[in-house]
Amino acid sequence: MTHVALVTGGSRGLGRALTDGLVAAGWHVVTDGRHADALAAAARPWADSVTAIPGDLTDAAHRDQLVAAVRRLGRLDLLVHNAGVLGPASGSTRRRELVDVRPDDLQHVWRHNVGAPIVLTGLFLTDLAASGGTLLSISSDAALEHYEGWGLYGASKAALDHLTMTFAAENPGIRAYAVDPGDMRTRMHQEWFPGEDISDRPLPETVVPHLLALLERRPPSGRYRAADIAVAVPAAG
């Protein structure tokens, strides 16, 4: 039996690395991305193990495409909310004090980081319950900590955590996790710190073994830090 996952935002960063990891573990992955060229480039090595669908999760027609793709595969074992946006759509910088956030900035972040995940989870809840599956939301330390200029993004991640845990409380047949992956060397992170050297941050590939260990062990639903999820070390010799 091939397990099936839907990983949003698989064209780059942690979404792409997690898709790689799941495919290597024998899963079939449905994934998407807002930038068709980047998604097509990511999909080339995946061949028949990945169904890649370009589009924006805030678009109902795109969500319908994802539903159709999963239904053709006949099951869903894992839904990963990885796609998201960092901050305001307006202006030249992502970091913005709350007093400077405009209503369209709020709508942009909330639709991508909160609205799309809650609607997508609702669409697939029956599929996840049927397989005893897993809901995994990629969170951030900004959901708990209060950093200057991160208020809009952090609040959206706190809301995503809350929704994920509420889905767990309301659906005991599934497991639901909000996971803080820690800082990573990604394009999104670089956009937050333009011009800064972020080469000391770990690559997203280093987070994947921790997420796979979480999926294998399936502890109680809750919020976790990836760094706290132990990865088994193969015995020497």
Question: Pick the catalytic residue: 11, 137, 139, 156?
Answer: 139
Q: What is the pLDDT of residue 234?
A: 67
Query: Mean pLDDT for the chain?
Result: 92
**Active site annotation includes 221:** no
Contacts of 31-39 with CB under 8 Å at 24 or more apart are 31/6, 31/7, 32/8, 32/57, 32/62, 32/66, 32/83, 33/9, 33/83, 34/83, 35/11, 38/11, 38/12, 39/10, 39/11
Quickly state the pLDDT bin for 46 (edges 50, 70, 90): confident
Question: Pick the catalytic residue: 11, 137, 140, 157?
Answer: 157
- What is the per-residue pLDDT across 61-101, written as a single tens digit (0 to 9) for each? 999 999 999 999 999 999 999 999 887 766 667 778 899 88
**Active site annotation includes 224:** no
Instruction: State which CATH number among 3.30.365.10, 3.40.50.720, 3.40.50.1580, 3.20.20.70 fits the domain covering 4-228.
Output: 3.40.50.720
Quickly state the pLDDT bin for 236 (edges 50, 70, 90): low
Between CA 135 and CA 141 the distance in angstroms is 19
Question: Pick the catalytic residue: 153, 156, 221, 224?
Answer: 153
Tokens of 158: 């706190």
